[in-house]
Amino acid sequence: MVKPEIISEKPVTITELKQEIDKIKKRDKELNFRVGKTEEYLSHFMTLSKAKEDELIKKLEKLNIPRLKDIHITKIVDIIPKTVDELKIILQGYTITVNNDNIKKIVDIIKEFAEKKK
């Protein structure tokens, strides 16, 4: 039996996953059941375009918040919490502590993008 080897792991945003599914769709012409359901889910929950998503990620990375890693930033960008409480709930799933000032900075940046979306 073949044992696959993981070379690297990188968190992927909803928009990036949607783009990969679109590539597979062009290549294979027809999606299997699971990929079809995943595509339906992504279409329903995708909120930002790729350009806005990349800009938001760059702004969050520029904050240089201690202990905030790519996986946390990816989750924040996918969910787009609009309040401090929503962001705290998202970060509770990880073993990370972020002080209130930094949480407010993150929410302020996210609010800019949420307002642009409308």
Consecutive sets of 10 residues in the chain, 118 residues long: mean pLDDT of each? 87 91 87 88 87 93 92 93 93 90 94 72
Q: Looking at residue 81, what is its pLDDT?
A: 92
Tell me how crowded residue 102 is: count the other CB atoms within 10 A of its CB: 17
Supply 70's token pair: 């790519």
Q: How far apart are CA 20 and CA 68, in angstroms?
A: 26
Sketch the domain layout of the chain as residue ranges.
14-45, 50-117
| Phi, then psi, of 103 in degrees rounded to 5 | -65, -40
SS3 37: helix
Domain 50-117 belongs to what topology? DNA polymerase; domain 1 (1.10.150)
